[in-house]
Amino acid sequence: MTAPGEMAVPRPPGPRTFVYSVGADAEDAKNSRCCRPADPPYLWHSYYVPDNEGIAAVRDWFDQLPIVVSETLIGELEAIFETAAAGCTNPSDRDKPIKAFRRGEQYYELRHTLDPLIEGVPRQLFRHYHYEPDGEWSTYLVALHAHFKDVAGDAKQVSDEQTRQMVYAKKRCELGRSQHWNLPCEVENLVDRLLDLDT
């Protein structure tokens, strides 16, 4: 555990595990490619809408951080995406980063808490949605949408907002199917695409 004022060093991908839950939820999450080791790793493909309000909020939050803190948290996101691409997530672990949208569908949610350890800057519950297409695109993980989960308000408000974000991701996927997600493409650094960083 990192003490206040110390910088956390992101653990490398590979054996590191991320999880969602136990029971039926864990069984659904195990269907994800992110839970089946792959060598070579799966390829991330961005199908984000860059000016979407949820993605813009993620970028704005990172932009306010001191560069050293930002780079540390970017490293955490990179580790999550690399671990997922390697198929090394584990739905039985307590950190709960992967969830299936619902039974029988190929939509998944990666979850992570970003904590800058800076007074006055709140931690954020990062949520990332992707789709796992079949057929000729079966080596890809298609990134649809990302946002910070808003926990303000009562339970219904929180649930309704989360549902709105998931519905948006599914609509994005439906459009993507008609365009074959603009694949094939060059191998992408997903964090660079998400945060609009210079490569």
Whether the Cβ atoms of residue 110 and residue 98 lie closer than 8 Å to each other = yes
Whether the Cβ atoms of residue 20 and residue 115 lie closer than 8 Å to each other = no
The reported pLDDT for the residue numbered 29 is: 86
Q: What angle do CA 34, 9, 132 make, to 5 degrees?
A: 15
Q: Which run of H or of E encompasses 163?
A: helix 155-178
Tell me, what amino acid is at 189? N
**Separation between Cα atoms, residue 166 and residue 101, nearest integer Å:** 8
**Separation between Cα atoms, residue 114 and residue 124, nearest integer Å:** 5
Percent of the chain whose pLDDT exceeds 70: 83
Cα 87 to chain center, whole Å? 14
Give the residue with greater pLDDT, 85 vs 9: 85
First-to-final CA distance of the chain: 31
Give the residue with greater pLDDT, 159 vs 101: 159
Cα 116 to chain center, whole Å? 18
The reported pLDDT for the residue numbered 95 is: 61
Query: Is the pLDDT assigned to residue 19 strictly greater than 70?
Result: no
Query: Is the pLDDT assigned to residue 7 strictly greater than 60?
Result: no
Nearest of 106, 97, 84 to residue 174 by alpha carbon: 106
The reported pLDDT for the residue numbered 23 is: 46
The reported pLDDT for the residue numbered 183 is: 86
**Phi/psi at 72 (5° precision):** -65, -45
Tell me, what amino acid is at 113? T
For 83-105, what is each residue's pLDDT tens digit?
Answer: 999 999 987 776 657 888 776 78
Token digits for 149? 């989960």
The reported pLDDT for the residue numbered 96 is: 57
For 32-74, what is each residue's pLDDT tens digit?
Answer: 999 999 999 999 999 999 899 999 999 999 999 999 999 999 9
The reported pLDDT for the residue numbered 127 is: 95
The reported pLDDT for the residue numbered 25 is: 60
Q: Computed from CA positions of residues 19, 20, 22, 26, in that sequence, does the dihedral angle turn out positive or negative?
A: negative
For 125-154, what is each residue's pLDDT tens digit?
Answer: 999 999 999 999 999 999 999 999 998 888
